[in-house]
Amino acid sequence: MSRPDARGLIATVLDPGSWLSWDEPPADRAEPGSAYAADLAAARARTGYDESVVTGEGLLDGRRVAVVACEFSFLAGSIGVAAAERLVRAVERATAERLPLLAAPASGGTRMQEGALAFTQMVKITAAVGAHRAAGLPYVVYLRHPTTGGVFASWGSLGHVTAAEPGALIGFLGPRVFEALYGHPFPRGVQVSENLFAHGLVDAVVSAEDAREIAIRALSVLCAPRRGLERGPEPEESADDVPAWEAVSRSRRDDRPGVRSLLKLGAADVTPLHGTGTGEDDPGLLLALARFGAAPAVVLGQDRRRQRAGNALGPAGLRVARRGMRLASELGLPLVTVIDTAGAALSRAAEEGGLAAEIARCLADLVMLDAPTVCLLLGEGAGGAALALLPADRVVCAQHAWLSPLPPEGASAILYRTVDFASEIAAAQGVRAVDLRRDGIVDRVVPECPDAAYEPEEFCARVARTLEYEIIGLLDRDPAERLAARFARYRSLGS
């Protein structure tokens, strides 16, 4: 497989002719005449690079961005004091100039010739990246072959969005070092980008060409304007009185559009994210960046079809959701939660994985989140899995969506020891969209004409327009007032 070097990668990802280097000659720490000085001279002569890191700026689809990239052919991309200083200065400049930062590590880690001082440079780099993120600026990482050691364990693992090169060796301890230390090879297939994706550690595995497109889409959301957006006319609403059991039945149709249909038919610049970033994933919970009209958002969506295929939402899915909440908070992006679930996983693994605690943490995080929040009740809304994504500044409900402590069959079993009274229970519990609006749980009901399953494109466009309207309205509000109103809203429920 042909892999581009640092300059080739930059030429592939950035707009042609837009690259401007920020690099100054490095201040070497090698003693003149030492073996290390000879290694540096040889590396420069062989590679045409003066250090293992190149930094600068360019345009990405016309957007100004900062870039830091490793060159593995230069002493295995190792990071010494001079390379770290170059990297940190670039990150600090990107922060000062409020530029999104693209990082492309390919490194064996710390430069062994410089020992402990080089080792501790990872702290300095991490601090600079942390300050960049704390300033609300995007940090996008593309892990290249190979990325190991302290680089992977610091600035290589801090991206808001992280992609990896296909087939790349990515891991903490390099396999050659492992075998030398322990006398046997590291297990095959573990330290490879595709395995990291399977375990929710990276968001995508893509070529350099595709990495450009992902970065363009991601930054179109991450850097989207938040002020001065045109809200447009108020969306149409539905006040039709649909019997409770009819709504429940319609919400369960296999052909009813779910969150993936909503993103496909109603959103733009969709960038799926994958997993918690810390080693877990749950197919029942979708996390993505997207735009609804002009309104950018982080989207957390319960995927009903994948839950029905044996992936009931478990604690890992809620930890994926909390990753999305943190992303929205850190970057000041609106958060859209989409409820469409028959209930959380009921299993030993879910209990031992902390399901109840994760529901509680989702509730706490959402209620306290400093970003604007909109909840969409799209279909089924059963139990704690639904409640975990409910608390929001505004709650929108599809006409045939519903919300209940349990599926009506479960409530019937508790009250009557049979599921035969499910329809009566649904009617009595006030689960319908019109009931939820009456009780102050829902703010707006989106019509289905007459059923979302019969008009998926029109319905998804209607929902997307409603989300855009609600998001823009929240972005125009004072954040402190918005948060106070959210507290007051939930404090007054039932009062």
Average pLDDT over residues 58-65: 98
Q: What is the pLDDT of residue 310?
A: 81
Residue spans of the domains in the chain: they are 6-220, 232-492
Q: 41 CB contacts (<8 Å, ≥6 apart)?
A: none
Q: Tell me which residue has tokens 């749980």.
A: 441
Average pLDDT over residues 7-19: 98
Highest mean pLDDT among 67-76, 179-188, 404-413: 67-76
Domain with residues 6-220, CATH architecture: Alpha-Beta Complex (3.90)
Side chain identity, residue 242: V
Under the banding of pLDDT at 50, 70 and 90, the label for residue 309 is: confident
Q: What is the pLDDT of residue 174?
A: 84
Lowest mean pLDDT among 47-56, 98-107, 301-310, 356-365: 301-310
Q: What is the pLDDT of residue 388?
A: 98
Kindly report, residue by residue over 46-56, the tens digit of the pLDDT: 999 999 999 99
Q: What is the pLDDT of residue 223?
A: 98
Average pLDDT over residues 428-434: 95
Let me know if domain 232-492 sits in CATH 3.40.50.300.
no
Q: What is the pLDDT of residue 136?
A: 97
- Residue 238: is its pLDDT beyond 80? no
Q: What is the mean pLDDT of the chain?
A: 96
Q: What is the pLDDT of residue 240?
A: 77
Q: What is the pLDDT of residue 1?
A: 66
Kindly report, residue by residue over 333-353, the tens digit of the pLDDT: 999 999 999 999 989 999 999
Q: What is the pLDDT of residue 473?
A: 97
- Residue 239: is its pLDDT beyond 80? no
Cβ–Cβ < 8 Å for 231, 312: no
Cα distance between residue 215 and residue 224, in whole Å? 13
Identical topology for domains 6-220 and 232-492? yes
Tell which residue, 416, 204, 407, 197, has the closest CA to residue 312: 407
Kindly report, residue by residue over 95-154, the tens digit of the pLDDT: 999 999 999 999 999 999 999 999 999 999 999 999 999 999 999 999 999 999 999 999
Under the banding of pLDDT at 50, 70 and 90, the label for residue 42 is: very high
